[in-house]
Every structure is written in C-alpha cells, then in structure tokens.
Structure 1
Amino acid sequence: MLLLLFGLLRMMADAGHFPEPSLLAIFAAEAHAHLRQVEADLAALGHGRDGAALGAVLDTLHTLAGAARSVDLAELEWLCRALERVFAAARDTGAAPGQQGAVAAALALAPQLTGQPAGRIRNQALALCGQLDALAAQLAQPLSTP
C-alpha cells in the first residue's frame, strides 16, 4: 500500500503537480512512523511478549526499503535490506539478533537518511550495511552443539 502511494506521489511530482520536497516530506513522516514501529516491535520481541513481532519487523523493513527506493533514497533502502537480512537470519535459525552494535546503530541512523543526508551520513550507512551483512552471516550459521 505504501509503495503504491509513493509511486503515485512520484508520478504526480514528475508531472509537476507539486514540488519534489513535499514528496520527501511525506515520505520522511511515513518512514519515521515505520521506524518507530520497528523499535516497538523489537522491544516486544526483546521482552518475549509477542511472537509475531519478528515477522512484523521484517514486513515493515521490507515496505520501508521499497518506499525508499521509490523516492531514490538508496542508502536508506540498502540499510533496510541489510537489517532485513539480519532479522531473516535470526528468524530462520532461532538466534537472537540483539539490539546492540550494528542493529542499534542502523536504527539510530535510519531517520537521518529520510531526507537529503550529508555525505558523512551516507558513508556511515554504507559501513553499517557491511557490518549488518557480517552479522546476518554469523546468525545464519547453525548453532554448534557440544
């Protein structure tokens, strides 16, 4: 649904119906709401209250990545996809992804990528993508039993 909305908004902006910054402002507001939901779902997951929270996190990150792509925010898209890989690996192996390190840093940086991020912020996002991919690979390894 969100992707359809942003696609329509993109076509309207391209046709000159309203200026591009308003599209980014609409996107940023929606993205911030999605990121808050991810954090709430992760908190529920951390407290063991909601078994569906991990699926909700994956769905929200997937939606946000697609929406970011539709407004040409590549670094946010890549960061969301890297987070998706971490949580998918955690789901598949039953491992705990945790909220420290790269995951926490990515969630803290993501809101800064919803507008016109500076080059330093974009570089940080790319570095975090590498760290998240390493974490996803680590989580994907089967747990060894003694």
Structure 2
Amino acid sequence: MALPDGDSSVGHSFGLEFDGVTIKSITEVSGLKLEQDVVEFKENTPDGKFTIKRLPGRPKAPDITLTRGLTADNSFETWIQNSRFGKMVDSRKGGSIIIFDYEGQEVKRYKLTNAWPKSLEIGSLKAGDTSYLTEKLTLTCEAIEVG
C-alpha cells in the first residue's frame, strides 16, 4: 500500500516471512537498522594541513529481535535447535520482516539474507502474574535491504 505524500505510517502489526510462511503474530521488532562502517582517511593537503576524510566502509548486518506472545507454535524452537546443533544449511534462511497497516496491507518489507536465530528468550515466569508470556527471537543475518 502506497502512503500519500506527507503521511507517515503507523506500525499496526508485523510479520516474519520465511520459506513462504508468514507469522503475523509479532508484537515488537527491535534492532532493525541499515548501518555501515566509517573509514577514516588521514592525509596532508598540498599546503601542509592535516585533514581527515570520513568515507563509507562495508555494510554491517544487524541483530534483530522479534517478540511475540508464547503459543503452541514451535517454529522458533525448531529453528534455533537446528542452529545450536550446527545444521546451518537448515538454519540459514532468506526472508523478510514485513510491516502491515491497520487493514493488513503491506506497508514496507525488509529483506534479510542468510538469517539464523542467535537466541530465544522466554519472558519472565512469575506465579500469580497476570501478564501474558512472550518469546523473543534474536536473529543475525549477513545483509539487510529495504524491498
């Protein structure tokens, strides 16, 4: 869905898409950024002044954390088990993080290259607590691009 000029988007819901399957129950995405190293080039100018030029370096791939409510779906657990046991052919996946508007239409997509789960954290377990349980999956990837 294209946004009208001058309008911003509201992140109503988020999805994780890998292997043609979209998980739309993501409640929070953090660490989603495009970043690169900075290379400093130090030189003396012809008139003898010392200067430092800052040049773009190689891109950095982020660690992205996805949070969702704890459900019976065990896809996160299976995925991290594969990486923990070194089954990287099964673990490295190309996919996307998708932002949806309030009507469920795609607003923006961030494509991940060779993403795999670095950690899976279950929210705090407290007896008598009435808050819902969450699981946080931290992904690392080799590249990210806006698609």
Q: Same fold (TM over 0.5)?
A: no
Larger strand share, 1 or 2? 2
Larger helix share, 1 or 2? 1
How high is the TM-score relative to the length of structure 2?
0.21
How high is the TM-score relative to the length of structure 1?
0.21
When Rg is computed on C-alpha atoms for both structures, the one with the higher figure is 2
